[in-house]
Structure 1
Amino acid sequence: MERMPSAKPPARPFTPLDFQLVLLRRMADHNPELVADARRELGVSIADMREANKRWQAMLRSPRSRSAVSCYRSILGAPESATLRKIGDLECEARSWPVPLWPDLRFEVMVAPNGTAWNEWLVRAPGATAPELHTLDDLTPWSCTVDEAARAFPPARPLEGTAPTRFGLALTAPDARGVRRECVAEFTWGLLQRVAVSR
């Protein structure tokens, strides 16, 4: 009797946990120790993180891929909030979702009027206490978001990121002795990863 070919098992859904692993995978380049601690907190292995990132990249590159906005909604569910925001002449909708790994942060997607996502990053949650940023010593990994650093040390100048999901700020901040130093703050998914101080 001829055996019927076995059916291919259905693909496992991409979950909010998988999405958090995608965020962590990009941050591992700068802060492997923090990422390892976060993985242990989530109860996942480095192989799980790599697999989640591999599946995420495949989803983005698939010829049948949905829009980023639709993709985030299918993975993360309905946004916790959706707020109209005007940036220059452009009126956008800021949609945000909670991120269990960082309870004081939200994953925010800025949606243009035509429905496309033009910015995706972590921001401080409404009502959460913002960090006190006064000197370079306060700019520690994962301590603040892009907006918080820019407000603390004006005038900060945006810099093009070295890779997708990365962002930079050129700013001047005092060191522990009060000497103002020029530096570049590097962010991944909107969260501070490291600061390079000019000599």
Structure 2
Amino acid sequence: MSTDAPFGPLDFQLVLLRRMADQRPELVEDARRALGVTVARMREANRRWQAMSRSPRGRGALTRYRSVLGAPESTARRRIGDLECEALLWPVPLWPDLRFEVMALADGGAVWNEWLVRAPDAPGPALKTAADLRPWSATVDEVARAFPPARPLPGTAPTRFRLALTDPADGAERVADFTWGLLQQVG
């Protein structure tokens, strides 16, 4: 991939995969092959994304997402506490039942959350016990709703999120790890 080539949706999917490779290398390898790209291209996409994200002359996060992913598939106003937000959703071909959601403050467009969520018309997984929590099967919101009162924990790196939950099957406390909002593992 030339650094002059436009950075588009395929490259963005490679960025998502690059962070997931730390926890689920086997799934990332399968996905990378399905996309028909090399490890070198995945690394280059991540390098370019990091450069765009950290550039002092760079665009704001919301502008960057729009330039890379195009116009969102949908937008909606949401109120979260006292905040008026705009939720923007983009399709992610690698995961057709998911959307990449960017939550931005309605008054200035500052991005405060960005992760994968279930597509509005796609059925979510049936989650009854921790045994149902398979890698890449569920989003943060789905796991939190299925295992109340799940408690958020600090993530272990940027784009990572964790939930403490109790398995109703045996009463054991477990921790679910997510990258970009998608379940990676349960320990």
TM-score by length of 2: 0.97
What is aligned with 2:52? Answer: 59
1:162 corresponds, among 156, 164, 173, to 156
1:114 aligns with one of 108, 112, 115: 108
Runs of 4+ in 1 over 4 A off after TM superposition: none
Return the match for 1:188 from 153, 169, 179: 179
Q: Alpha-carbon deviation of 1:144?
A: 0.1
Question: 2:165 corresponds to which residue?
Answer: 171
CA distance in 1, matches of 2:155, 2:131: 23
SS in 2 for 1:85: strand
For structure 1, list consecutive stretches of 5 or more residues without a partner in the other structure.
1-8
Name the SS of the counterpart of 2:143 in structure 1.
helix
Q: Partner of 2:38 in structure 1? A: 45
Q: Deviations over 1:45-78 (max 9, x none)?
A: 1111111001111111111110000000001000
User: Structure 1 residues 157, 45: closer, same or farther in 2, change over 3 A?
Assistant: same
Residue of structure 2 in register with 1:32 after alignment: 25
Q: Secondary structure in 2 aligned to 1:167?
A: strand
What residue is the counterpart of 1:140 in the other structure?
A: 134
Does 1:131 find its partner at 2:122?
Answer: no
- What amino acid sits opposite 2:6 in the alignment? P
Separation (CA, whole Å) in 2 of partners of 1:179 and 1:126? 32
| Aligned mates of 2:73, 2:171 — CA distance in 1 | 40
Partner of 2:66: 73
Q: Which amino acid aligns with 2:26?
A: E
The offset of 1:101, in angstroms, is 0.2
Measure how far apart 1:91 and its partner are.
1.1
Aligned-partner residue type, residue 80 of structure 2 = I
* Superposition CA RMSD, Å: 1.1
- d(CA) in 2 for partners of 1:53, 1:16: 13
Picking from 133, 137, 147, the partner of 1:153 is 147
Give the residue type in structure 1 aligned to 2:61.
A
TM-score, length-scaled by structure 1:
0.91
C-alpha deviations, 1:123-161, integer Å up to 9, x for none?
A: 000110110001111111001000000000000111111
1:145-187 CA-partner distances (Å, limit 9, x unpaired): 000000000001111111110001011013xxx3111011010
Q: Separation in 2 of the partners of 1:115 and 1:77?
A: 16
- Which has the greater radius of gyration? 1
For structure 2, the 5+ residue unaligned runs are none
